[in-house]
Amino acid sequence: MKSYSYILTIIVICLTGFTSCVDKIALPETTAPAKIHVECELSPPFHIKAKLSTTGDFNANYLPTFPEDATIRLYSQLDEEFVFKYNSDTRIYEVTNGRLRNGLNYSISAEVKDSSITSVFANTKIPPKGSIDSLEIVNIESINSNTGPSEDLVTVKVNLDQASGKYFRIFFDSRYATLKENVNQSQWIYNPVLQKSEISSIKSGGTSVHDAYHLRGVLVNPEYLDDTSFEVVLKTDKSSLESKEVLKTLNIRIHSVTESYYRYHLALSKQLKLEGRKAIEPVIDYTNINNGYGFIGAFVASSDSIVVR
């Protein structure tokens, strides 16, 4: 199992970064034929990307390969067909001439030139757009230090519009500004760069809200929320900012995601959080890929904001 664990770790490190019912993978205990591992992510209107490798035959120290000449196709329920092209700069397969539509079903097929490796296919559906009912600042704590990092800790209460989606990924950005006081008027001068806010802790939400360890933000399943709301504490490093700059606006990014996206990334996040980013055990626990590993999933992005000061 040592070589198998090592190989799957390599695949996850190389492929992760990008979830229809999800089946538990039957992890091979003995020598297994090579299979395709593909991660495909769709988001309207133009985000169509996939990462692909082959893996298998673990007891023979089979090292994963990352073919640049695989054939990946995307099909829509409108009988559209798009062919992925490999981008050598990003090492990602992508479609640059296709347009995704909300609410449609899509399927993917992938094959490699090695005829001994079975081709794979999978299906997904673009989810509805997600939204929130309200965003509330509960508390702000500013930590200014000469010896350590200076940061803002902001407790936020998020009220979801439960009717807008079943699964979510939610993350935050903070915009800082300096109050420029002139003779005639006072004007806020904004920092041109948004500061990324990380999750410091989850204060409420129970088993519905999970820290996305390898992504920013949280993964949310609103079905088990008591009142459709949850609270998180955000941490924003402001060490690179001027001392006069203060938090002015908090932006919330809302991704309504498919079940396959949610479950795949939740399983991966839990495993990495348990064992650290250099996990030595398999982290690929779930798949909705037929004849292979990985997932095809989709998300629809939206955003909102709240003025802090």
Shared-domain flag, residues 96 and 181: no
Task: Please report whether residue 227 resides in a domain.
Answer: yes
Task: Please report whether residue 70 resides in a domain.
Answer: yes
Shared-domain flag, residues 214 and 228: yes
List the CATH number of the domain containing 14. Answer: 2.60.40.3780
SS3 track for 122-189: EEEECCCCCCEEEEEEEEEEEECCCCCCCEEEEEEEEEECHHHCCCEEEEEEEEEEEEEECCCCEEEE
In this structure, of 16-25, 119-128, 284-293, the range with the lowest mean pLDDT score is: 16-25
Residue 281 has pLDDT above 60, yes or no: no
Residue 152 has pLDDT above 90, yes or no: yes
Residue 213 has pLDDT above 70, yes or no: yes
Rounded Cα–Cα distance for residues 238 and 54 (Å): 42
Task: Please report whether residue 57 resides in a domain.
Answer: yes
Task: Please report whether residue 236 resides in a domain.
Answer: yes
Shared-domain flag, residues 88 and 229: no
Residue 279 has pLDDT above 70, yes or no: no
186-205 tens-digit pLDDT? 778 887 778 999 999 999 98
Average pLDDT over residues 77-106: 96
Shared-domain flag, residues 144 and 81: no
Which residues touch 135 (CB under 8 Å, ≥6 apart)? 156, 157, 158, 159, 250, 252, 304, 305, 306
Which is higher by pLDDT, 286 or 29? Answer: 286
Residue 91 confidence (pLDDT): 94
Shared-domain flag, residues 122 and 239: no
Residue 161 has pLDDT above 80, yes or no: yes
Residue 59 has pLDDT above 50, yes or no: no
Residue for token digits 């079903």? 105
C-alpha dihedral (87, 194, 12, 94), degrees to nearest 10: -20
Secondary structure letter of residue 100 according to DSSP? -
Shared-domain flag, residues 123 and 136: no
Residue 13 confidence (pLDDT): 47
Shared-domain flag, residues 244 and 182: yes
Rounded Cα–Cα distance for residues 32 and 12 (Å): 19
Secondary structure letter of residue 223 according to DSSP? G
Residue for token digits 């395709």? 36
Task: List Cα–Cα distances, 80 to 30, 105, 190, in angstroms.
Answer: 40, 11, 44
Residue 52 has pLDDT above 70, yes or no: yes
Shared-domain flag, residues 161 and 57: no
Rounded Cα–Cα distance for residues 26 and 14 (Å): 22
Host H or E run for residue 108: strand 105-111
Task: Please report whether residue 21 resides in a domain.
Answer: yes
Shared-domain flag, residues 246 and 287: no
Shared-domain flag, residues 239 and 174: yes
| Number of structural domains in the chain | 2
24-43 tens-digit pLDDT? 445 555 566 789 999 999 99
31 CB neighbour count, 10 Å cutoff: 11
Strand partners, 83: 73
Range of the domain at 274: 2-127+258-302
Task: Please report whether residue 307 resides in a domain.
Answer: no
Average pLDDT over residues 161-170: 85
Residue 199 confidence (pLDDT): 94
Closest CA to 82 of 108, 45, 57: 108
Shared-domain flag, residues 249 and 265: no
Shared-domain flag, residues 7 and 85: yes
Task: Please report whether residue 308 resides in a domain.
Answer: no
Task: Please report whether residue 309 resides in a domain.
Answer: no
